[in-house]
Structure 1
Amino acid sequence: MRRWIGAAAVVLLTVALTGPWWAPHAATETVGLPFTAPGDGHLLGTDYVGSDVLSRLLHGGQTVVLLAIAAMAMAYLTGASIGLAAGLTRADPVLMRPVDVVLAIPPFLVLAVLAASTGRGSLVVVLAAALANAPGIARVVRAATLEVGARGYVEAALARGEGKAAVAVRDVLPNIAAPILADAGSRVSGAIAMVAGANFLGLGLQPPAADWALMVAENRAGLALQPWAVVAPALLIALLTITVNLGGDEIAAVLRRDHKEIPT
């Protein structure tokens, strides 16, 4: 079962990232009448403007995955830095109190506030997803850092007068990698769902950009005429989110079983 989940996640990510290279048509090319049923060389029919649904699908996954990856990279860079600093210094209350405040704000409220104040666009979606995830990451990293920081080798390094930044990178990070990676699976799937939701609501990418969530929003008026234009992208979003989440859980289980502390 574990192998099937991992294989499914890899296949979906590969399709999402490399799909534009082997799509039969350009994402915005009109190839027929709107909402044409599958057939006549179009495996999944056409969409609301007559573009090939399969080609739009192959182009549209890249944005979902890349925006989610960018958001999580920003979130982990910010959250891990705060968590390490809070766990190794006396600035814990100062650093974590604002984190707790942001953590209490619903993610889509963060997105709505940013969109209302700065406008729509992919950058807004990335910033919102990063801001929504960074506080939780900071708490996970802080808790793991406090546990590892009580170990003798970390206390000895600090007692020798070594810099906290050097201790964090050399002594702490290798020993908290397992809980960080275990936390990443659910967060990445959550970021994918948030990016897709933002694009569906029109707060991120705008037509005629190819994007799975935009395809659902654009073609829902013709659901009864040509359901594949809506069902196919919605199904891919759901499968990608589920497989990444389950794959992350499996990786977390392996890491918890195999992790050994690395003293330095």
Structure 2
Amino acid sequence: MHHTPCKVDSIVALNPVVSLVTLIPQQPFTHQAGQYLKVVMDEGDQRPFSIATAPREDGKIQLHIGAEPGNSYAGEVLEKMRTEGEITVNGGLGNAYVQLENSMPTILLAGGTGFSYTQAILQKMLESSAQVKGHKDPIFLYWGTRSTADMYAYDELVALDEKHEHFTFVPVVEHPGHQWSGKTGWVHKAVLEDFVSLEPYRVYIAGRFEMAGVAREDFHQQGLILKNLYGDAFEFI
């Protein structure tokens, strides 16, 4: 598998547990929006992370790495990046990348840092739709987090919602505070409540495997055609 050395350009805290990592590949790195890469800790230890951006003109790659206390899997990756200032990656990987050939309304569903996967797809879709005159297919992004503090891109997504008439952002908080007036509970349940039938839609999902598995079954029951469902989790469950 092709190894790409990268310089660590920056590591910025998005909230107390999630870091935005920007990498500069030192040789050509190709990927499609919605693919992932593997960080090479050693030849027998390669750890996957979604690429949080569509391909960029400057070639930089961004990751959202969530490292809660006790999460050595992600914490060790961040520590290696901080101490060495460089990292080797493999990518782009995965078949759940954005599909632009056939026009369809789209639902993006993310749990936690699974948002990074949907962010890359959203970027590409908005970029593509900006080149299309007239009607643009609707795009819905449902992002579920445990608390409002975990929703680190909330303001950015609200701004995109206001800017793009065909894009709708729906935040869903599992444990809301007293000031929260939006949707609560499980994020995929919010989708089921809002759509009578999912048959016309293409759906992209990223989050815990348990959530993805339940969502696949429930969405299929609500009319989703499974060939129109995308997510890296479905390669494993």
Name the TM-score class by shorter chain: under 0.3
TM-score norm. by structure 1 comes to 0.21
TM-score scaled by length of structure 2: 0.23
More helix by share: 1
Q: Looking at both structures, which has the greater relative contact order when contacts are Cα pairs under 8 Å and sequence separation is at least 6?
A: 1
